[in-house]
């Protein structure tokens, strides 16, 4: 995937994922945020990779969304 100049990528280290359904729940929640271009969540690694437009959505909003869904973010790397 080619990331344009206006896009950034962040990897979220997630807590509380126990199955594929958990990963799908988080991915679907993040995809609903305006400015999120793509999401890949893998429960076996507890990582969520998000490509987003930083002018539209902030990492803090993504973390809040994950927490609102009942999961947690241990850390993130941009």
Domain boundaries, the chain: 8-77
pLDDT exceeding 90 applies to what percent of the chain?
Answer: 90
CATH number of 8-77: 3.30.70.100
How many helices (H) and strands (E) are present in the chain, helices listed first? 2, 4
| pLDDT per position as a tens digit, 22-35 | 999 999 999 999 99
- Per the structure block, which two tokens stand in for 65? 């969304």
Is residue 14 helix, strand or coil?
A: strand
User: What mean pLDDT, rounded, does the chain reach?
Assistant: 94
């Amino acid at each position: 995937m080619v990331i344009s100049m206006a896009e950034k990528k962040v990897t979220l280290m997630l807590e509380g994922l126990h199955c594929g359904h958990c990963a799908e729940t988080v991915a679907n929640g993040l995809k609903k945020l305006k400015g999120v271009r793509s999401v890949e969540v893998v429960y076996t690694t507890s990582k969520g990779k998000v490509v987003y437009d930083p002018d539209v959505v902030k990492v803090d909003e993504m973390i809040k969304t994950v927490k609102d869904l009942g999961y947690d973010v241990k850390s993130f790397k941009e």
